[in-house]
Chains A and B, each alone.
Chain A
Amino acid sequence: MMPSGNQKKTGEHEFITNIQKALGRPSGSVLPDQSVLTQAPPPDLEHRLSLYCSRNRQDQTKLLDLFMEQAALVNMKVIPVETGSLAGSAVRELILKTEPEWGIEKSVIAWQDPLIEQLGLKEQLASDNVALFITQSSPAPGLEEREEKRRHLLESYIGITTADFCVAESATLVMRSGPGRPRAVSLVPSVHVAVIKMDQIIQSLSELYFRLKFDPKEKEQGLTNCMTFISGPSKTADIELVMVHGAHGPRQMIVYVITG
């Protein structure tokens, strides 16, 4: 096994002492000064939080417009739909008219999530020849279960997820990993479909960080061990600066916003 907590073997002590010397500080075990790390909650904390959480319909529509405008710049398609089941039929249509990139069979993988359940995909796809995998899992999935899910993932050409937030200003979907929400669903399939509710759209990155840090609800979950921002489909400009979509991640990205 590799050394872990042992300070000597991780080289930490010597390393930090060296830095202290360079900074001209007395070396030794200085207790981390927490004030360096966190900021006292701003005085307008309550006010800001309540502003963020009480947007009316008009504000939300404005944010949706901004999001759509920014998303267009990064080649991400945003489609507002009134209800979950309308989103479901839209996804079905997408599946029927999109061909798989690698194989010939059509498989789709979706997060286990109440919002995605609203799409009623199982019923929608009942008469089509399409396999639908849901990333449902036991509380502590073992190797076998994980490998099975990985096979499903690799077979799927469309991956369906939700998001925790959607930042309008930069067209960014924010996703935290957790049970039933494997990160590769938004990454490995050729097409990434995200379904969000309109009130998940927020203004800016600064609002996002503020809420993650100060909103008691978000604080509890924290950033988790993997939080990902996605702003558009995978792209590269490494050959003569020519923009090409679908370098390694999804070639196409579609967001359905449930407005009802």
Chain B
Amino acid sequence: MAEIKTEYYKQNAVKAIGDPILQNALSNVQNRLGPATALCYQKLAEGPDLRLKAHKIREFAVNNLDILLPVLAQKIRDRGGKVFFARNAEAATAYCLEVARENRIKMVVKGKSMVTEEIGLNQVLEANGIEVNETDLGEYIIQLAGESPSHIIAPAIHKTRKEIGRLFTEKLGIPYSEDPPVLTQAARKFLREKFLKAGMGLSGCNMACAETGHITTVSNEGNIRMSTTLPKIHMAFMGMERVTARLEDHDVLFRLLSRGAAAQNMAGYVSYIGGPRTPDQLDGPDQFHLVILDNGRSRILADPEFREALFCIRCAACLNVCPAYGKIGGHSYGYPYSGPIGAVITPLLTGINRAKDLFLGEPLCGACKKACPVDIDLPRMLLALRAKAAYGDHQWAVTRVNPREKFLFEIFSILIRNRKLYDLAMKAGVFFQKWLPRKQGMISHIPFVFKGWTQSRDIKPLARTNFLTLWKNRNQKS
């Protein structure tokens, strides 16, 4: 399992907001990808409503997972591939390790895959003496730096070219350069050796197709094709929801995925992989393994309120428009999945109480829903999570996040139903607020249970005369 650091959300967010380089990188990503994706949707022949069709396609698949997955597995087995169903992260990593050991694998190459981040595969393999090489340039950079990805599709956006230049000088021993082509070439050269030597290639799966029995991998760099073509073994990992029923579903989904992820008409490389090399072929892996992962997904599936989260195709479009992500960056979310989608699925996968800050931190502005290529109602689910945190929930084992909050709201409810009491309380507020510290006419600190209100902002003082009184006076005059 990936390390869960969701409880440090606030600290990490504060740090991120104070980091000018990161702020610059984040706004760069959002300014470039956010509007470009929106424009791409507009330019679709079918218009942006194609997203609704994609939603239906994903809904249909998720509602029929019990039928689609066995069919997918059988078709892959018919071609000589092996399929393993992993209930949790431990089962998945253990399977991978077992195959690696049996085949005496010392080194693996890896394409970018969120699900392998989720199960903490690299750590397990490395702890068992197997060298893991991330091959996506962004992932490679952060692996060299010993960090974790901060964006679903552009994992190293938080690093500047200068930092990367210094990193490459230190780790690869090349002369310092901050020229992206030179740095890319250095990684290309270095990783080429790894591709050729590795005994096993690991990948994720963007979207499987049950009808034909294939997984698909998508990249722009070609690293996933390298990882899945050159080594003797290819093992792919997929979340159990990443399947569609029919081949033609991929038409809509790939066009939208490419637009959502990188404002492209089509990703550079898409491969349909359905089994190992056949005896008449000259290349391709001798073994093909597919690991299908649950790891908490069936629980999400069981809850109609959150089932929709499983329609996600991990394109990162919602990150590119989210005002919260745009300020606090991916690391604050404390788990591989960041942004609005992370704020929904991380709590569902790792515990709602523990990860409560993630959904409390999202502003519910609705931008993510509009950007999502499959029109997932993320704001609705963020709100549902907030409700669970506020009231507690048995099914998800949520305890009330803040019992005091309930007490305060009960008092407020009494006040607001009683005119006299309410006016009295307001008067008291106006009276007492003169002792509160002020900054430019705003109250900068309220003590006791109210201190959260002024933790990161100043608040307007209560007016001496309230609106109703003003209104009355005005009407009397005229």
Contact = CB atoms under 8 A, between A and B. Distances in A.
Partners in one complex: yes
Interface of A: 1-5, 10-12, 14-16, 18-25, 30, 32-33, 36-39, 70, 73-74, 135, 137, 139-141, 145-146, 149-150, 153-154, 167, 169-172, 177-180, 182-184, 187-188, 204-206, 208-210, 212-213, 222-242, 244, 246-250
Nearest to A178: B281
Given A154-B196, A209-B250, A183 B225 contact: yes
B270 A32 contact: no
B137 interface: yes
Given A205-B251, A225-B278, A228-B269, A246 B188 contact: yes
B459 interface: no
A188 B230 CA distance: 10
A224 B279 CA distance: 13
26 contacts: A2-B99, A5-B77, A12-B85, A16-B70, A19-B65, A23-B301, A36-B64, A137-B280, A150-B283, A153-B283, A177-B281, A183-B225, A188-B226, A205-B251, A205-B266, A208-B251, A210-B248, A223-B214, A225-B276, A231-B264, A234-B269, A235-B220, A237-B220, A238-B136, A240-B157, A246-B184
A187 B225 contact: yes
Interface stretch (B5-13, B291-299, B321-329, B470-478): B291-299
B191 A182 contact: no
Contact of B271 (A188, A226, A240): A226
A16 to B, nearest CB: 5
B225 A179 contact: no
B230 A247 contact: no
Contacts of B452: none
A171 B288 CA distance: 30
A227 B292 contact: no
A15 B292 contact: yes
A30 B67 contact: yes
A164 to B, nearest CB: 12
A38 B211 contact: yes
Interface of B: 25, 28-29, 32, 60, 63-71, 73, 77, 79, 82-87, 91, 98-99, 102, 135-138, 141, 154-157, 159-161, 164, 180-181, 183-185, 187-188, 191-192, 195-196, 210-212, 214, 220-223, 225-226, 229-230, 240, 245-248, 250-251, 254-255, 262, 264-284, 288-289, 292, 294, 298-299, 301-302
Contact of B282 (A32, A182, A228): A182
B85 A141 contact: no
A186 B177 CA distance: 30
B138 A10 contact: no
A206 to B, nearest CB: 5
A206 B248 contact: yes
A64 B184 CA distance: 33
Contact of B77 (A4, A18, A226): A4
A235 B181 CA distance: 10
Contacts of B137: 236, 238-239, 247
A228 B270 contact: yes
Contact of A236 (B87, B184, B282): B184
A242 B270 CA distance: 22
Nearest to A177: B281
A12 B70 contact: yes
Contacts of A30: 66-67
A94 B257 CA distance: 35
Contacts of B246: 37-39
B238 to A, nearest CB: 13
B266 A231 contact: yes
